[in-house]
Chains A and B, each alone.
Chain A
Amino acid sequence: MSARMIADKTVKYILFASAIISIIIVLAIGFFIFRESIEAWSNIGVSEILMKTVWRPGQDQYGILAMIVGSVSVTFGAILLGVPLALGCAIFLAEIAPAGVQAVVRPAVQLLAGIPSVVYGLFGMVILVPLVRKLGVPGNSGYGLMAASIVLAVMILPTIASVAEDAIRAVPENYRHGSLALGATKWQTITKVVLPAGKSGILAGVILGVGRALGETMAMIMVIGNSVIMPQPLSGNPLSFFLSQARTLTGNIAVEINYATGVHESALFATGVVLFGLIMIVNASARWMIRGQKFVEKAN
């Protein structure tokens, strides 16, 4: 075998090893978290952990349902606020903005992804929380789902915007030409032709955003209040649900792991297992969506 061939083979094995190592790391982390959580699952009970809302380690009560609801609610709020914004950004960049404007807007949006989480948290704590507090609902401390959802919406914006922009650009040019040739306006073309064609890619972007939102920790701890309660409306208006304080699954681990020992520590690992499961489901559905997108392209 020539030296070139040997080098070629070696590189192949090195790359293969890198791929294998990342799989091993994921499996090892999953295995480790699960092993540490076994004590909690067996001592406390699966349904006790998943279905109870009272979390008082001092009283041996370890229900994480309130935190599952907290994580899901804040993610829902972030999607509600963040997706229209991100989609607007993506459509603007892919369909409307001239090259010069794109060159400014795109890096600016991407810059959002580079801001450290703790800085978002600080901004939320010092600026957003006092603003939210101005809403005159009794019991509104400013800390809670709304402040957290706004912070999170901005944090997931770059992820969704960039994936959605790629999806929109991937829609074949012929589609647009066809639509315009039939007399549709640009806006009609975007809403009736381009967006439906890029739908699965855009959805994949949204789901990646959901995954990012579920995993966010530091910024959430700083603005959500961390109270272990089932979020509920503070007044007759159902929208005041978002003024309720809450705790996320990630926040539960980060806030309490420093002092936890024994079953308490294991229950925090169980929280991690639930989070791991949620994020795996979310990522798997994103992959499934992206595969759907490719299928559409091939069919055309």
Chain B
Amino acid sequence: MNSADVFVGLANYKELFQDKVFLGALKNTLIIVVVSVPITCVFSLWVSSVIVDLKGWATSLFRIVFYLPVVTGSVAVTVVWKWMFNNYYGIFNYLGTKTGIIDQNINWLGDERYALACIILILLTTSVGQPIVLYVSALGNVDASLVEAANVDGATSLQAFWKIKWPQIMPTTLYIVVITTINSFQCFALIQLLTSGGPNHSTDTIMYYIYYSAFKLYRYGYGDAMGVVLAIMIAILSAIQFKFGNSND
């Protein structure tokens, strides 16, 4: 471009960790990961464990339903969610006030207190599809005779789950944790289309801030520096997850 590329050493990194907006984005990114990863895993495991025992067609049906938001695509889904969260005529406010759960309209995406939660909710709906497919398959592959044997020995179904099924689906869990983590870190379309990082930077994520720095503020090197921090974070987190996963074996 029209700019001289100058080697500035670590200046970008130094500035990065004094940048309130970046630190906020870092925090939001971590919140998204820390909240959405466990919920995705637990939720999809729960759904899978319930639907895996249903009749074949019912299992498929549920699996398809939960996978649909993934194939629909984040952009198409997002435009509807934007309407659903609308302050003035959105469906949540409509149902909420009708049923008396909320006494006045809540500005879901325009309120610092709720915006990030809304983003996480939408992210969840688009990320449980794959884990459910994987868990249903993994649970289906658990040796049924082992479970039966345990039942004969008088184990409760919860015990049977923990002692027999859980160890066997552990590799699947590990894989799900890793991919969900990476996806959560890279959450971008939702933010760009719904909130642009607002209100008051409450939904800024590193991903969005990289884009913002580069193409709104023309700070390409700064954006690169953020990308590096993001890469390192993902690497460290994957390391922890693998370590944790392996020690459980």
Mutual binders A and B: no
